[in-house]
A and B are shown apart, each in its own frame.
Chain A
Amino acid sequence: MLAKRIIPCLDIKDGRTVKGVNFVDLRDAGDPVELAEIYSKEGADELVFLDISATEQKRKTLAELVYHVAEKVSIPFTVGGGISSVEDVDVLLHNGADKVSINSSAVKNPQLINDLVAKFGSQCIVVAIDAKQIDGEWIVHLVGGKVPTERKLFEWAKEVEERGAGEILFTSMDHDGTKDGFANEALSKLSTELNIPIIASGGAGNMQHFTDTFVEGKADAALAASVFHFKEIGIKDLKEELKDKGIPVRL
């Protein structure tokens, strides 16, 4: 049976992990490769690296990081953050990334999804969608939820699927950082209306939230950052708990 996936997300700036990584057993708390190895050993199913740096060196630094992660880690990983062209993706995949995620660039230029799928295949193209509710309607946002667009979540998600994306990473900006649980109603609708895997993101606070997003939200995978980085939830413990609740996981 296909297992539900648990995905820690690492924010990267200038080749280093940023924001709240609190691992006492880490020799170098800012080293993404070491952190990736630890998560891999603890049983993470996949990793996401989100590059938030904005320097001119960014592309080169990120490519080097991808190379070093691929060298050490034997689970799949996705790289996102500022990817906007076929060339960007080519470099990352050649250095060992399994998948890339695109967000703003896809909203601004939806044809990019088709171009990437044609060149690299659906399986490695993840489209990340950030959305929040405005007057009861889910609206797609850019720049980490700061800038609203004219696109509605469900219409955009459908278009993303039709253009060939292999997966959708949906972050509810209303839930992100609240530790109050995932946006299960919207997730469930996405999962039912679309026929590609949906990754839930935003709102993880405790283990029950993960159970809920797999059962009520019908998510195929769940992504979180701080609850893992601060060791509020151990990945192995979480998977044991999910297994006890009857959710298929890899242990």
Chain B
Amino acid sequence: MKIVIINYGAGNIQSIKFAIKRLGYEAILSHDIVEIQFADKVIFPGVGEASSAMSKLRASGLDKLIPNLKQPVLGICLGMQLMCHSSEEGDTKGLGIFDVDVIKFTNEVKVPQIGWNQITNLKSELFKNIEDKEHIYLVHSFYAPLCKETIAESEYGIKYSAALAKNNFYGTQFHPEKSSDIGERILENFLKNI
């Protein structure tokens, strides 16, 4: 199985590579369009600011490539947010895969949300053998509200999307690569069962 982690200069991608290695697979980091097109599984990471990450995607043509991929794609954290219709962060358009607008948490809660929260209402093979209310690790100030593509919910002041899915596209607001055994099981589900 050929696994490609899209490398467009956004964030800590080493951890994702290591997590995949712990599961017994090898992933390569690449921004090469052909390499990404011929991967069996694509992981789209991202940490940082949304509008500058979108600029990087546009500069490399990845903004056209990603929405047209046919193999399973997993966006993580900012990666998931960029797959949405738009983001309030830097007021940017997204890739438009998920039909939801990413917005900022209000000041009724501490921002960013940092730490371990629970996922509920799990609705995908991505969460095979994962029980309701397991803890996963998140760090974020912006979120995707609940929508028809929500496959996992979490609650921080309000309920929001902890994960989204549409066709071959998946996105997690949390970091499976940093979510201990539960996170590794979710990554393994993506690699083996999707």
Query: Which residues of chain A come closer than 8 Å to B112, judged between CB atoms?
Result: 122-123, 166, 196-197
Comparing A20-28, A50-58, A88-96, A201-209, the segment that makes contact with chain B is A88-96
Comparing B143-151, B162-170, B172-180, the segment that makes contact with chain A is B172-180
Q: A1-B155, A3-B135, A98-B178 are in contact. Are A250 and B12 (CB under 8 A)?
A: no
Q: A74-B183, A96-B15, A197-B110 are in contact. Are A120 and B115 (CB under 8 A)?
A: no
Query: Which residues of chain B come closer than 8 Å to A71, judged between CB atoms?
Result: 18, 21
Instruction: Tell me, yes or no, whether B156 is within 8 Å of chain A by CB.
Output: yes
A195 x B137 contact (CB < 8 A): no
B110 x A40 contact (CB < 8 A): no
Contact residues of A between 2 and 21, Cβ < 8 Å to B: 2-5
Query: Which residues of chain B come closer than 8 Å to A67, judged between CB atoms?
Result: 14
CB distance from A3 to the nearest CB of B (A): 4
Instruction: Tell me, yes or no, whether A144 is within 8 Å of chain B by CB.
Output: no
CB distance from B83 to the nearest CB of A (A): 18
Instruction: Tell me, yes or no, whether A221 is within 8 Å of chain B by CB.
Output: yes
Query: Which residues of chain B come closer than 8 Å to A234, judged between CB atoms?
Result: none
Task: Mark contacts of A91-109 with chain B using CB atoms, 8 A cut-off: 1 yes-contact digit, 0 otherwise.
Answer: 0011111100000000000
Q: Of B137, B177, B179, B181, which is in contact with the most chain A CB atoms at under 10 Å from its CB?
A: B137
Query: Which residues of chain A come closer than 8 Å to B177, judged between CB atoms?
Result: 74
Task: Mark contacts of B114-135 with chain A using CB atoms, 8 A cut-off: 1 yes-contact digit, 0 otherwise.
Answer: 1111100000000000000001
Instruction: Tell me, yes or no, whether A167 is within 8 Å of chain B by CB.
Output: yes
CB distance from B118 to the nearest CB of A (A): 6
Complex Cα spacing A219 to B77, Å: 25
Complex Cα spacing A72 to B47, Å: 21
- When the two chains form the complex, which single residue of A76, A121, A197 contacts B49, counting CB atoms closer than 8 Å? A121
Complex Cα spacing A121 to B155, Å: 23
CB distance from A98 to the nearest CB of B (A): 6
Task: Mark contacts of A102-137 with chain B using CB atoms, 8 A cut-off: 1 yes-contact digit, 0 otherwise.
Answer: 000000000000000000111110000000000000
Instruction: Tell me, yes or no, whether B19 is within 8 Å of chain A by CB.
Output: yes
- When the two chains form the complex, which single residue of B113, B116, B175 contacts A5, counting CB atoms closer than 8 Å? B116
Complex Cα spacing A197 to B19, Å: 27
- When the two chains form the complex, which single residue of B15, B114, B118 contacts A197, counting CB atoms closer than 8 Å? B114
Instruction: Tell me, yes or no, whether B192 is within 8 Å of chain A by CB.
Output: no
Query: Which residues of chain A come closer than 8 Å to B21, judged between CB atoms?
Result: 71
B178 x A74 contact (CB < 8 A): yes
Taking A70-B14, A96-B18, A98-B12 as known contacts, 13 extra A-B pairs with beta carbons closer than 8 A to each other, sorted by chain A number, are A2-B156, A67-B14, A72-B18, A74-B183, A75-B137, A75-B179, A75-B180, A94-B14, A95-B14, A96-B12, A98-B15, A124-B47, A196-B110
Chain A to chain B contacts (Cβ below 8 Å), 12 pairs: A2-B116, A5-B115, A5-B116, A45-B115, A74-B22, A76-B178, A96-B15, A98-B178, A121-B11, A166-B139, A196-B111, A196-B112
**4 tightest A-B CB contacts, nearest first:** A250-B135, A96-B14, A123-B139, A250-B116
